[in-house]
A and B are shown apart, each in its own frame.
Chain A
Amino acid sequence: MVKVTMYTTITCQYCILAKRYLEQKGIEFSEVDITHDLVKSDEIVKKTGQNRTPVFVVEKDGQESYLAGFDKAKLDEMLGLNS
């Protein structure tokens, strides 16, 4: 069971493309918009150590992994997809 959460900002174009990509791949995900949420923004920056969106948090087999930025090849690897 894989749970995917995406952290996005409202003007982030790569976030839009990433959402479209996950939808095309049939991957369910939840989205957290951090544009106006300083608490969630600080939380994800602390977790990833990065100031980049989109951020993908993938929970798989009880483990959490993170990807900051829309890198299809790395995302496919995290999700176990063939690209």
Chain B
Amino acid sequence: MTENVKSINFMSVGNYFFPLSMIIIIISVSLLLFSKVNLGIDFTSGTRFDLTILSDKNKILKISDLTNAIDTLGLKNEFIIKELKSEKTVDYQMFSIISQNNFDEQLILNAFKSNLKISGDSLKPIQTVTISPKMGKELIRSASISLGLAVLLILIYITIRFNSFFAVSSILALIHDVSITVGIFILFGLEVNLPIIAAFLTILGYSLNDTIVVFDRIRENLNKSKKKDNITDITNLSINQTLTRTILTSLTTLIVLLILYLIGNYLIKLFTFALIIGVAIGTYSSIFVAGFCFNMLYNKYGYILNSEEADEEKL
């Protein structure tokens, strides 16, 4: 055992963090069950038209202005208009016009030109997406299956490569990471679209990646240890040994994500935001959820494993 490694006693700190994390999981899961998730048209189907309007410094456009302009068209559609405030600059405002039924964005542009007294050049269409109800159903199906499949495959893989204590602990960490990220999205009413689901899956992969590095070290130290060694000491040691790597990798990833966030457009920003939360929480959970949980389980039930090994030795 190395005495000159500066050892932080993670497990004792974990005594406070772990219950806190569990509470946050419960809050997040209840948010998921009882509040409405802001689903994008990928899942709800419909048409969404995003555009920027060059604004007059004196006149800031309000959603009601746009609604009134569209009403003059006398269309049967019901429109929801949102302003993407994160994209607002001194020069322009960005709006999203959403409807369950298809509409021609050219009509909308014409209505704005005539009613809001804006020239054609001030209106810049960014993108229009139409998803049919059938496609919306398909996408919900794919998203659910992929999330379910990911969890299943991960469960199988970990159980094969590590023992069940590790498996349970890592699954707990994954639930922690994804539910908190989803919870934050729900709390702030952020839109969940297909790329966000992809971000969740990436978070799963990344968080697991991180957890496995720690577990791999714990496993190695366990194998090297003797019967009298305290599991908490081993866990602490392993985490300390992998600390440099954990911090470095998270840092490089976060730097890169931050750059993407600052520079990206509104689509990329949301996607990157999810990843940033996921990476940050994933790093935290590898130590204070997965690591702590494993430590706790091994302390309580580790004798089962040890007796199994003893039986094998006898044979």
A binds B: no
Q: Residues of A at under 8 Å CB distance from B? A: none
Interface on B for A, CB 8 Å cutoff?
none
